[in-house]
């Protein structure tokens, strides 16, 4: 008689993240309330969170409180275990430091990779979860985000291509070693092994303005899905914010972020992955849809179209964040005035971003912003690209510069 185990897989919460200058603590609170309730309603046994719990390495007090409160509330539900691994946005030590205390709540965390090319034991990244009677029920290969230094020794004088290959080979080796350790622990028993990961797997879909930060320059193509050995009965991924299976492997999945991270994700159905095992062989994967806790929308068109959509949104009465994208040919001043008059009168519409894509402005040198972008919401990498653009740095020179910049940034962020 097989034992049923019900799993929720989520990732990329980015607690503390703002949409432009707007804090989204209320949305996160509603999401976390919803999740606790959903876990109860669906009698979930295990929750997996595959990285990017926090948006930044020094999370705000509110974000931290939301995290710890959630862990505490979770321990009062039917969910027997949570496994949380870090993503590229998380501080590894911030995730690791409270591990002993969180163990008491049956929340297992892995911030820093537990082994690398020099030291450590792959078994330390394998977590064995027990059922109510104390028997092993699920084996989790809890691999956190792997930084370059976790998977390879640095070698001088290699070009970008060689460096990229060394990183992707190192990641593949890491997953293989954890798979071997998990297989040894399974020892032929009918217990599923689930891998976690926070990385870009080839073929993954991303959209513009979805808040995904490129992790290693050069490895934009990511690792191949075949690095996940047949040991793994499910692979719970984080990093990409669009919910998706990788290639045609239904069991290698990105859960996606629970709320839209930017206007590029407006209207996208967000979800949590639901995985039900009855032994290894019976596996059901389905999506649990997440409601929208705060509407966001891109309002595009010429003056007339924008105006009419704004009036429709005003009539809804519900608070909504919008981004206005103008495509018309009227002089900009008159359009801005009309939009601002409507927004002034309709308090439920909050405009966070406006872009001018009129033919006139594109001819005059590309996208012009009606209002300046807010510096605080441009990430470091984008800022560096802007600097390269401003200085007319050629495409040929860029990879080296970007790579060096990212290396420095990584050092600063790790130490900062």
Q: Which residues bind Mn ion (CB under 5 A)?
A: 12, 52
**Which residue, among 20, 67, 77, 13, has the nearest Cα to 44 in the 3D structure?**
77
Of 6 and 213, the one with the shorter C-beta distance to Mn ion is: 213
**For residue 332, what are its two tokens?**
């900009």
Of 10 and 354, the one with the shorter C-beta distance to Mn ion is: 10
**For residue 362, what are its two tokens?**
């594109």
Of 260 and 299, the one with the shorter C-beta distance to Mn ion is: 260
Of 12 and 265, the one with the shorter C-beta distance to Mn ion is: 12
Of 192 and 204, the one with the shorter C-beta distance to Mn ion is: 204
Q: Largest Cα–Cα distance in the chain?
A: 73
Minimum distance from residue 111 beta carbon to Mn ion (Å) = 15
Distances (CA, A) of 339 to 16, 295, 367: 30, 19, 19
- Number of Cβ within a 10 Å radius of residue 60: 17
Minimum distance from residue 297 beta carbon to Mn ion (Å) = 22
Minimum distance from residue 285 beta carbon to Mn ion (Å) = 21
> CB under 8 Å to 54, separation ≥6 — which residues?
13, 14, 15, 16, 63, 67, 89, 90, 91, 94
Of 147 and 182, the one with the shorter C-beta distance to Mn ion is: 147
Minimum distance from residue 198 beta carbon to Mn ion (Å) = 8
Minimum distance from residue 263 beta carbon to Mn ion (Å) = 16
Minimum distance from residue 401 beta carbon to Mn ion (Å) = 25
Minimum distance from residue 10 beta carbon to Mn ion (Å) = 12
Q: Helices 61-75 & 25-41, crossing angle to 10 degrees?
A: 10
Minimum distance from residue 262 beta carbon to Mn ion (Å) = 11
Work out the angle at residue 199's Cα, subtended by the Cα atoms of residues 198 and 204, and round it to the nearest 5 degrees: 120
Of 52 and 150, the one with the shorter C-beta distance to Mn ion is: 52
Q: For the chain, how big is the Rg over CA atoms in Å?
A: 23
Instruction: Give the integer Cα–Cα distance in Å for 385 and 372.
Output: 17
Minimum distance from residue 120 beta carbon to Mn ion (Å) = 25
Q: Which residue is nearest to Mn ion (CB)?
A: 52
Minimum distance from residue 332 beta carbon to Mn ion (Å) = 35
Minimum distance from residue 11 beta carbon to Mn ion (Å) = 7
Instruction: Give the integer Cα–Cα distance in Å for 88 and 99.
Output: 19
* 148-187: burial string, b at 16+ Cβ within 10 Å, e else: bbbbbeeeeeeeeeebbebbbebbbebbebbbebbbebbe
Of 12 and 45, the one with the shorter C-beta distance to Mn ion is: 12
Contact, 127 vs 182, CB < 8 A?
no
Of 83 and 212, the one with the shorter C-beta distance to Mn ion is: 212
Cα 131 off chain centre by? 29
Contact, 320 vs 350, CB < 8 A?
yes
> Between β-strands 249-254 and 271-278, what pairing exists: parallel, antiparallel or unpaired?
unpaired
> CB under 8 Å to 128, separation ≥6 — which residues?
136, 138, 139, 140, 185
Of 10 and 231, the one with the shorter C-beta distance to Mn ion is: 10
Could you give the residue ranges of the DSSP H alpha helices within 97-159?
99-103, 148-151
Of 258 and 328, the one with the shorter C-beta distance to Mn ion is: 258
Instruction: Give the integer Cα–Cα distance in Å for 68 and 9.
Output: 19
């Amino acid at each position: 008689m097989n034992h049923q185990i019900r799993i929720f897989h989520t990732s990329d919460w980015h607690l503390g993240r703002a949409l432009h200058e707007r804090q989204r603590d209320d949305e996160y609170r509603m999401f976390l309330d919803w999740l606790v309730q959903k876990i109860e309603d669906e009698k979930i046994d295990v929750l997996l969170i595959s990285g990017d719990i926090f948006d930044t390495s020094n999370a705000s007090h509110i974000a931290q409180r939301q995290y710890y409160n959630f862990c505490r509330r979770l321990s009062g539900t039917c969910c027997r275990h949570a496994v949380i691994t870090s993503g590229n946005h998380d501080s590894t030590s911030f995730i690791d430091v409270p591990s002993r205390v969180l163990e008491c709540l049956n929340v297992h965390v892995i911030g820093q990779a537990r082994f690398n090319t020099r030291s450590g034991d792959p078994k330390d990244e394998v977590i064995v979860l027990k059922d109510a009677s104390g028997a092993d029920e699920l084996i989790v290969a809890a691999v956190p985000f792997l930084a370059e230094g976790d998977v390879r020794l640095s070698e001088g004088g290699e070009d970008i291509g060689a460096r990229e290959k060394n990183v992707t080979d190192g990641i593949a080796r890491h997953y293989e070693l954890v798979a071997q350790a998990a297989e040894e622990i399974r020892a032929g028993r009918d217990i599923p092994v689930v891998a976690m990961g926070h990385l870009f797997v080839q073929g993954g879909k991303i959209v513009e303005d979805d808040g995904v930060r490129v992790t290693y320059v050069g490895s934009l193509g990511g690792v191949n899905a075949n690095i996940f050995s047949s040991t793994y009965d499910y692979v719970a991924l984080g990093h990409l914010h669009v919910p998706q299976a990788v290639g045609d492997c239904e069991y290698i999945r990105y859960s996606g972020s629970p709320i839209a991270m930017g206007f590029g994700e407006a209207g996208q159905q967000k979800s949590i992955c639901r995985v039900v095992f009855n032994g290894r062989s019976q596996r059901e994967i389905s999506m649990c849809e997440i409601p929208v806790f705060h509407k966001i929308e891109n309002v595009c068109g010429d003056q007339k179209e924008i105006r009419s959509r704004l009036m429709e949104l005003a009539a809804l009465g519900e608070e909504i964040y919008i981004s206005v994208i103008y495509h018309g040919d009227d002089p900009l001043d008159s359009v801005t005035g009309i939009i601002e008059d409507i927004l002034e009168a309709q308090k439920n519409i909050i405009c966070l971003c406006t872009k001018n894509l009129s033919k006139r402005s594109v001819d005059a040198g590309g996208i012009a912003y009606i209002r300046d972008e807010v510096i605080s919401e441009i990430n470091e990498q984008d800022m560096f690209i802007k600097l390269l653009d401003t200085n007319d740095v050629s495409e040929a020179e860029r990879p080296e510069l970007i790579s060096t910049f990212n290396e420095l940034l990584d050092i600063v962020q790790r130490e900062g």
